[in-house]
């Protein structure tokens, strides 16, 4: 089934395609990937925040959230049983994917992109403060210095972007962050699939296997299928027609501004 791209969605789709092309270029052009590093750390906060929030809402105690300079992360929480473990372990990759799709949906709903940037910054700051600082101190352990530094630097950058960027640049940045969330989750799942099939590396899928007795490769495939469904639903919502005029602050807008 092919998508019917609504006329008023075409500027947004153009922005999304350019953001995707830039993301792929930063990953695959030699020595360019370091430019995407801050965005990778942002996605890691979203991924680990998904684990932490899932643990919290299922009644578990989150002991710490840690983000590392290499883009990896770790959440320590109490074990609330099989169902809780399934929810918590799945919330990382699927949470990041859903977050990216949600950002695109908010753009399509014509929520101001600067408000989205402020919200993203506030979320990272809250995750770093609650789970990266206060949770470790409450459990008599030291918080990670890089986690705290990144938890301040990323929100500061997002707040500055929301305040100083022109509306079209802010719209492009939101699309770029959304693409980073989606593509990072997809590429990470590819790596987890390889690790589950050929290594004994500890992964979220290994946690699922330990909780259920079902092989980890099954859970990776389940996450991949679910992730593709999220992407398909997100894209369908993104290109659907709307009755209201299109948001005038998007890049490549082809309708005149009304004043």
In Å, how far from its chain's centre is CA 10? 24
The sign of the dihedral angle between the CA atoms of 131, 121, 12, 111 is positive
**Which pLDDT score, from 0 to 100, does residue 142 have?**
93
What sign has the CA pseudo-torsion 96, 99, 100, 101?
A: positive
Measured distance CA(27)–CA(32) in Å, rounded = 7
Closest Cα partner for 229 from 186, 199, 173?
186
C-alpha to C-alpha distance for 181 and 100, rounded to whole angstroms: 5
* Distance of alpha carbon 117 from alpha carbon 48, whole angstroms: 19
Angle formed by the axes of helices 216-239 and 167-198, nearest 10°: 160
Percent with pLDDT over 90 in the chain: 46
pLDDT of residue 57: 93
User: 195 in a domain, yes or no?
Assistant: yes
Among the ranges given (34-48, 150-164, 245-259), the one the predictor scored with the smallest mean pLDDT: 245-259
Q: Evaluate if residue 62 carries a pLDDT over 90.
A: yes
Selection from 17-26, 106-115, 165-174, 205-214 with the highest mean pLDDT: 165-174
Can you tell me the distance from the alpha carbon of 103 to that of 119, in angstroms, rounded to the nearest whole number?
10
Per-residue tokens: 37: 């590093």
251 touches 15 (CB < 8 A): yes
- Judge whether 7 lies within some domain: no
- Tell me, yes or no, whether 247 lies in a domain: no
Please report where in the chains the tokens 């009304």 appear, as a residue.
258
Angle between helices 37-57 and 113-127 (to 10 degrees): 70
Answer whether residue 222 shows pLDDT above 60.
Answer: yes
Give the whole-number percent of the chain exceeding pLDDT 70: 86
C-alpha to C-alpha distances, 84 to 91, 194, 208, 209, nearest whole angstrom: 11, 25, 10, 13
Is 38 contained in some domain?
A: yes
Alpha-carbon distance of 222 to 201, in angstroms, equals: 19
pLDDT of 104 above 60: yes
Extract the tokens encoding 110.
């014509």
- Could you tell me if 206 and 196 are in contact, meaning their C-beta atoms sit under 8 angstroms apart? yes
Total number of domains constituting the chain: 1
Q: Is residue 179 part of a domain?
A: yes
Domain contains 254: no
More confident residue, 19 or 247: 19
pLDDT for position 257: 36
Task: Give the domain extent around 149.
Answer: 22-239
Q: In whole angstroms, what is the distance from residue 103 CA to residue 93 CA?
A: 16
Predicted pLDDT at 233: 79
Mean pLDDT across 171-188: 89
**What pLDDT sits at residue 245?**
47
Is 45 among the domain residues? yes
Average pLDDT, the chain: 85
pLDDT in tens, 114-171: 999 999 999 999 999 999 999 999 999 999 999 999 999 999 999 999 999 998 899 8
Q: What is the model's pTM?
A: 0.85
CB 223 within 8 A of CB 93: yes
**163 vs 26: which has the higher pLDDT:** 163
How sure is the predictor about 255, in pLDDT bands with cuts at 50, 70 and 90?
very low
Q: How many helices (H) and strands (E) does the chain have?
A: 10, 2
The answer as to whether 255 is a domain residue is no
Residue 4 confidence (pLDDT) above 70: no
Structure-token pair, residue 214? 């079902």
Residue 190 is predicted with a pLDDT of: 82
């Amino acid at each position: 089934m092919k998508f019917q791209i609504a006329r008023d969605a075409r500027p947004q789709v153009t922005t999304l395609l350019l953001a995707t092309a830039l993301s792929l270029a930063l990953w695959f052009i030699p020595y360019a990937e370091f430019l995407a590093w801050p965005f990778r750390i942002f996605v890691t906060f979203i991924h680990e925040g998904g684990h932490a929030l899932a643990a919290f809402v299922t009644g578990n105690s989150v002991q710490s959230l840690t983000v590392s300079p290499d883009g990896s992360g770790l959440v320590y929480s109490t074990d609330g049983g099989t169902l809780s473990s399934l929810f918590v372990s799945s919330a990382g990759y699927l949470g990041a994917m859903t977050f990216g799709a949600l950002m695109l949906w908010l753009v399509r709903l014509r929520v101001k992109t600067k408000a989205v940037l402020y919200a993203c910054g506030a979320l990272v700051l809250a995750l770093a403060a609650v789970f990266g600082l206060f949770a470790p101190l409450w459990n008599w352990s030291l918080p990670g210095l890089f986690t705290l530094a990144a938890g301040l630097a990323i929100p500061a950058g997002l707040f500055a972007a929301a305040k100083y960027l022109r509306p079209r640049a802010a719209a492009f940045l939101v699309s770029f962050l959304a693409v980073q969330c989606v593509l990072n989750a997809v590429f990470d799942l590819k790596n987890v699939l390889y690790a589950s099939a050929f290594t004994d590396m500890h992964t979220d899928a290994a946690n699922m296997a330990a909780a259920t007795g079902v092989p980890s490769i099954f859970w990776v495939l389940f996450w991949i299928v679910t992730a593709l469904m999220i992407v398909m639903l997100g894209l369908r919502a993104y290109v659907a027609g709307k009755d209201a005029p299109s948001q005038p602050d998007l890049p490549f807008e082809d309708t005149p501004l009304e004043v």
